[in-house]
């Protein structure tokens, strides 16, 4: 919940120039829902995709304050974050609700970025693998192998989000490899190999190179650094 209309447009216009027409890296921005349509217009013709930060698990009806996937698609969203740690831990979204959102989004052709990750106390208790396995399995319940073409997984350890603390390269490598293995078990090795698994958690220009070098890290879910073009652009360059 950052920026106003003018500063959001300033940001994406700078990103549009920085990315140009390059096709060697995929970039997406996820503005607040009230700005999606204007940001999508500003990025028309650019390879930069526009997504939403959340969606409703219902298609339409008496759900005051919610925004449906059809509405998001109607105003130019191509992707949606589901299960972000702030939705899980501030607003209490449980795995079954997240799974319904995943299906709702996939059914209208939106790309899903499914976020998973453990709390600090869960890591310290040795429960990291159990937590991410449960979130992944439940979040992808009844999703088909074909639908996985439109799913990205984002591993975001909650203790590393906005704290300045970054998971070490060995920690990231271990969990991303574990997630790849889980996907292979849930689907097939071929499906697991083609699914993008992003790392999110205090990603900055000075650590992205090491993170991107990890074999099973396919990209970054960038938080605070994405709000400043001078920080976001070097991250894009390293990914490329």
* Structure confidence at residue 239 as a pLDDT band (50, 70, 90): confident
Instruction: Identify the pLDDT of residue 226.
Output: 96
Burial letters for 168-185: b for 16+ Cβ neighbours within 10 Å, e otherwise?
A: eeeebbbbbebbbebbee
- Looking at the structure of the chain, the number of domains it has is 1
Is 111 part of the annotated catalytic residue set?
no
Catalytic residue among 10, 59, 78, 84: 84
Nearest Cα to Cα of residue 139 among 202, 88, 213, 205: 88
**Can you give the residue range of the structural domain that contains 86?**
5-239
Q: Any idea what the CATH number is for the domain that residue 117 is in? A: 3.20.20.70
Is 84 part of the annotated catalytic residue set?
yes
The pTM for the full model equals: 0.97
Instruction: Identify the pLDDT of residue 160.
Output: 87
CB of 155 closer than 8 Å to CB of 175: yes
pLDDT tens, residue by residue, 10-22: 999 999 999 999 8
pLDDT averaged over every residue in the chain = 96
Q: How far apart are alpha carbons 101 and 96 in whole angstroms?
A: 9
pLDDT at residue 165 tops 80: no
């Amino acid at each position: 919940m950052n920026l106003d209309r003018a500063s959001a447009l300033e940001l994406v216009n700078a990103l549009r120039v920085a990315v140009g027409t390059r096709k060697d890296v995929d970039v997406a921005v996820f503005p607040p829902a009230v700005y999606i349509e204007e940001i999508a217009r500003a990025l028309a013709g650019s390879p930069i995709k526009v997504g939403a930060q959340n969606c409703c698990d219902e298609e339409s009806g008496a759900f005051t304050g919610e925004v449906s996937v059809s509405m998001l698609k109607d105003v130019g969203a191509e992707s949606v974050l589901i299960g972000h740690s702030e939705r899980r831990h501030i607003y209490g979204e449980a795995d079954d609700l997240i799974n319904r959102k995943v299906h709702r989004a996939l059914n209208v052709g939106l790309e899903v970025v499914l976020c998973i990750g453990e709390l600090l106390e869960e890591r310290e208790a040795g429960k990291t693998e159990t937590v991410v396995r449960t979130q992944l399995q439940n979040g992808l319940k009844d999703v088909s192998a074909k639908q996985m073409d439109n799913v990205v997984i984002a591993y975001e350890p909650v203790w590393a989000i906005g704290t300045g603390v970054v998971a070490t390269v060995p920690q990231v490598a271990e969990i991303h490899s574990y997630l790849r293995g889980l996907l292979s078990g849930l689907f097939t090795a071929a499906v697991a190999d083609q699914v993008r698994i992003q790392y999110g958690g205090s990603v900055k220009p000075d650590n992205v190179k090491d993170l991107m070098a990890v074999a099973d890290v396919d990209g970054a879910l960038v938080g605070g650094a994405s709000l400043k073009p001078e920080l976001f652009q070097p991250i894009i360059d390293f990914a490329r």
